[in-house]
Chains A and B, each alone.
Chain A
Amino acid sequence: MNVRPGGLPQRVGLVVFKVLCAAPGRRFRPSSFSLNQSSMNDQTWIWTCDEEIPSKVEAGRDVLQTMLGQLEAAGWSDRDLFGVHLSVEEALVNAIRHGNQLHPEKVVRFECRLSPDLLWVQISDEGDGFDPADVPDPTDPEQLEAPSGRGIMLMRNFMTRVDFTNGGTTVIMEKQATPAQDSQAS
């Protein structure tokens, strides 16, 4: 697994990332990274990863578990861990099942950066994309008994920020760690 534990200084990490993104033959554009760079400049990353995952629903679980282990080691609350777990699980399933449609030659790119109190995740697929505005509100009475369509709503509720870019083929999520006193109170 191409997971890099430990602390790359932020500037070095950025340079490495830009070089990686500039490498020929990469199938994914790093456009969203620059979109979020301003909000990320103050962060000191304690863990990062950049993985390409085959289009099998269970394939993202290793990197997801590794990421959760890093959050736990950084002292994130159980509630935050639950919300991140659920949101990333939903986003990966969306990318693999709905985006790439389980196509064996398509991959999902999973990028993640963790500071002591901020998690940034970007998940990109090679599908046709979608418009999140076209997804019906699952809480509408007419939709309440539909067996699917709740993943995005859960992501938006449990994460601090969820944005879709690149025509819906990329989702960027951020989670700000809940301060300890708030976490105990909830």
Chain B
Amino acid sequence: MAAYRRLDVNEVGDVTVVHFRDQKIIEDLGIQELGQELFQLVEVENRRKMVLNFSAVDFLSSAALGKLITLDKKMKAKTGKLKLCNIRPEIYEVFAITRLNRLFDIKDEEADALAAF
């Protein structure tokens, strides 16, 4: 398994669970690296079931949304499934305002996300 600077990557059964190490996901604060690491999970390591756990994240900008959308596209292109969980209310509001809560499958807790595959 590759070493990641921005992510903690674990396996739960056949699902890859990803925790973000950064509290704030903002443009140019490692966001390019974050995107590359997420894309590598899909394109190089061929992960097909993935949960992104946002429990450590207390802020993200629209640039971060762009990375998540690109990740979702890459995942769908390989018929994989992506789920998001543990999103704090203010960040969920960002998803709701932009209607990305319709694009992404968002669950309250990690257990809910794992059970949904």
Which residue numbers of A lie inside 8 Å of B, CB to CB? Answer: 57-58, 78-79, 82-83, 85-86, 89-90, 93, 97, 138-139, 144-148, 150-151, 153-154, 157
Chain A residues whose C-beta falls within 8 Å of the C-beta of B29 in the assembled complex: 58
The 9 closest A-B pairs by CB, nearest first: A147-B66, A82-B90, A150-B62, A57-B28, A139-B99, A157-B97, A151-B62, A150-B98, A147-B69
Minimum CB–CB distance from B115 to chain A (whole Å) comes to 26
Chain B residues whose C-beta falls within 8 Å of the C-beta of A146 in the assembled complex: 69
Q: Which of A93, A145, A153 is the one whose CB lies under 8 Å from B27?
A: A93
Chain B residues whose C-beta falls within 8 Å of the C-beta of A154 in the assembled complex: 62, 94, 97-98
Which residue numbers of B lie inside 8 Å of A, CB to CB? Answer: 26-29, 59, 61-63, 65-67, 69-70, 72-73, 90, 94, 97-100, 102-103
Identity of the chain A residue whose Cβ is nearest the Cβ of B70 in the assembled complex: A147
Do A79 and B90 touch across chains, with their CB atoms under 8 A apart? yes
Minimum CB–CB distance from B80 to chain A (whole Å) comes to 16
Distance between Cα atoms of A144 and B104 in the complex (Å): 11
Interface of A is mostly: helix
Most chain B beta carbons < 10 A, residue from A93, A144, A150: A150
Distance between Cα atoms of A94 and B74 in the complex (Å): 27
Minimum CB–CB distance from A125 to chain B (whole Å) comes to 16
Q: Which of B72, B90, B98 is the one whose CB lies under 8 Å from A138?
A: B98
Chain B residues whose C-beta falls within 8 Å of the C-beta of A157 in the assembled complex: 97
Do B61 and A89 touch across chains, with their CB atoms under 8 A apart? yes
Given A79-B90, A86-B59, A144 and B102 contact (CB-CB distance below 8 Å): yes
Most chain A beta carbons < 10 A, residue from B59, B66, B94: B94
Minimum CB–CB distance from B94 to chain A (whole Å) comes to 6
Do B65 and A145 touch across chains, with their CB atoms under 8 A apart? no
Q: What are 8 of the A-B contact pairs (CB < 8 Å)?
A: A86-B94, A93-B61, A147-B66, A147-B70, A148-B62, A148-B66, A150-B65, A157-B97
Do B99 and A82 touch across chains, with their CB atoms under 8 A apart? no
11 new A-B pairs (CB below 8 Å) besides A97-B27, A151-B61? A86-B61, A89-B27, A93-B27, A93-B63, A145-B69, A145-B73, A147-B65, A147-B66, A147-B67, A153-B98, A154-B94
Chain A residues whose C-beta falls within 8 Å of the C-beta of B103 in the assembled complex: 144-145
Identity of the chain B residue whose Cβ is nearest the Cβ of A57 in the assembled complex: B28
Identity of the chain B residue whose Cβ is nearest the Cβ of A157 in the assembled complex: B97
Distance between Cα atoms of A58 and B98 in the complex (Å): 24
Chain B residues whose C-beta falls within 8 Å of the C-beta of A86 in the assembled complex: 59, 61, 94
Chain B residues whose C-beta falls within 8 Å of the C-beta of A139 in the assembled complex: 98-99
Do A89 and B65 touch across chains, with their CB atoms under 8 A apart? no
